[in-house]
Amino acid sequence: MSDFPRLRPVEVAFPGSDGIRLAGRFFGGNNGATVVLVHGYGGNQDEMLPVADALVGSDFNVFTYDTRGCGRSGGDVTFGALETDDVISVIDYLEARPDVDRARIGALGFSMGAASTVMAAARDPRIKAVVDDSGWASAYGWLRPEARDVLLRPHAPFSPLSLKFVEFRTGIHLNALRPVDVIARINPRPILLIHGGSDTAVPPTEGDRNFAAAGPPKQLWLIPDAKHGDTIQLVVADYADRVVGFFRQHLSVE
């Protein structure tokens, strides 16, 4: 936080979709419009601070939080299954705040956070504008488990055997986690898809699939030399301006 002196967080805790404790921060702006930032797999809300700083500097409220199983939040990671419900819980929390204009709430997710954000927005029209940064089209497309790993690497985190154990332990079905199948339901609300052309963690073909399936109004920004995470660290020139401009336009900010 010391790298971002204008960010003055209010620490909050709120219940997730199944009652677990989620830890978040509210950064106050001046125009009532609010953007939710959802971090990626294995990270925490701190990775979204550069984006939060750019948005707060343009007078937006910003809300960040540790997704389940990360940072100071409870629960276990479910690769987007319960995380999607948690995004909706965030919207419930924000609607109850007097400093939030409930008609002007947007969301930006990164990587797995982008997948959760897309699936949540497909269900919840209260999310008025969406940025999908480096999101995958399907959980199995992202995890890319290989059959040979059953024998060669049975304990690898994304081996078929390990993923089946995750499904058994959590009761989720990874095959059902397919943003590509529901992204069109965000229409007619706007979506901006951003992907690095040099992303090896989530191949840019995943972004292409989501863009093809999305309904208008939609934009795709493919950044040729960007790697996974370069965007949210503001390594990419013009990223902050594009994201801020998108939310200014679509959350009716003068």
pLDDT in tens, 211-220: 999 999 999 9
Whether the CB-CB separation of 87 and 14 falls below 8 Å is answered with: no
Residue 42, pLDDT > 70, answer yes
Whether the CB-CB separation of 203 and 195 falls below 8 Å is answered with: no
d(CA 38, CA 66): 8
pTM of structure = 0.91
Residue 28, pLDDT > 50, answer yes
Count Cα neighbours of 202 within 13 Å in the Cβ-side half-sphere: 31
Tokens 């390594």, residue located: 235
pLDDT digits (tens, 9 = 90+) for 138-183: 987 766 544 333 333 333 345 555 566 566 566 677 777 899 999 9
Residue 241, pLDDT > 80, answer yes
What domains lie within the chain, and their CATH numbers? 9-138+177-250 (3.40.50.1820)
- Average pLDDT of every residue of the chain: 89
